[in-house]
């Protein structure tokens, strides 16, 4: 099988949407400092690109959780592989993800971070796939709502590949 990638959102469309989200975030936090928390690995591209558009002072921190193997199916388990290295108590926190699918990852992370008493916690995802939702989670900023298709690019992978694409595309699996 070989993979063919069909463009869903171009680099320009994503950039424009992230600019809009940065503006919405500014309307929420104003000039107060925001701790941007990235969920590795997929969230890293969105976090970096969004951070460049933010108008207030931001700091960055990283968590690594795992819910998927090498394929396209959720394992149903979330493992914290790396935790934040700073306390978020009393801070404005913006959790940045690449995609919400079943909702398990973000829901679990949200519960975990709320227990640490941030001043405010807002959730942002580049992509939302509501058809696949198993666990509801309130998301504050959504880049694009997409149908149930397996997508790659802009941080998202298939078997660890394609994270570096500057666009988001649907993967089609074809006979060689």
Ligand X SMILES: O=P(O)(O)OC[C@H]1O[C@H](OP(=O)(O)OP(=O)(O)O)[C@H](O)[C@@H]1O
- The residues annotated with a catalytic role in the active site are 101
If the CB atoms of residues 37 and 156 are measured against ligand HPA, the closer one turns out to be: 156
Q: Which positions from 108 through 167 interact with ligand HPA, judged by CB under 6 A? A: 150-152, 156-157
Nearest Cα to Cα of residue 88 among 132, 45, 19, 33: 33
Distance (Å) of CA 102 to CA 105, 108, 124, 132, 164: 8, 11, 15, 5, 24
Q: Which does 39 bind (CB under 5 to 8 A by kind): ligand X, ligand HPA, none?
A: ligand X
| Minimum separation from the CB atom of position 91 to ligand X (A) | 22
CB under 5 to 8 A by kind: which of ligand HPA, ligand X, none does 103 bind? ligand X
Cα-Cα end-to-end distance for the chain: 6
* Alpha carbons 54 and 65: distance in angstroms, whole number: 25
Q: Which does residue 15 bind out of ligand HPA, ligand X, none, counting CB within 5 to 8 angstroms by kind?
A: none
Question: In the complex with ligand X, which residue's Cβ is closer, 91 or 104?
Answer: 104
DSSP string for residues in 114-167: HTT--SEEEEEEEEE-GGG-SS----SEEEEE--S--EEBTTB-BTTBSTT-SS
Mask 78-107, x = binds ligand HPA (CB under 6 A)?
A: ---------------------x-x------
Asked whether the beta carbons of 156 and 99 are under 8 A apart, the reply is yes
* Residue 125 binding target from ligand HPA, ligand X, none, CB below 5 to 8 Å by type: none
Note the residues at the interface with ligand HPA (CB under 6 A). 68, 99, 101, 150-152, 156-157
């Amino acid at each position: 099988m070989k993979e063919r990638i069909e463009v869903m959102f171009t680099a320009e469309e994503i950039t424009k949407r992230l600019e809009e989200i940065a503006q919405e975030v500014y309307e929420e936090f104003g000039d107060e400092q925001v701790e941007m928390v990235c969920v590795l690995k997929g969230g890293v591209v969105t976090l970096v690109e969004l951070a460049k558009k933010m108008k207030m002072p931001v700091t960055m921190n990283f968590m690594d959780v795992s819910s998927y193997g090498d394929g396209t199916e959720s394992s149903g388990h979330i493992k914290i592989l790396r935790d934040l290295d700073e306390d978020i108590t009393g801070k404005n926190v913006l959790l940045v993800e690449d995609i919400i699918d079943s909702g398990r990852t973000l829901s679990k992370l949200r519960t975990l971070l709320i227990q640490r008493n941030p001043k405010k916690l807002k959730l942002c995802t580049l992509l939302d796939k509501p058809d696949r939702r198993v666990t509801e989670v309130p998301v504050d900023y959504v880049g694009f709502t997409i149908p149930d298709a397996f997508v790659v690019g802009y941080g998202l992978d298939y078997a660890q590949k394609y994270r570096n694409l500057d666009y988001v595309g649907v993967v089609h699996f074809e006979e060689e």
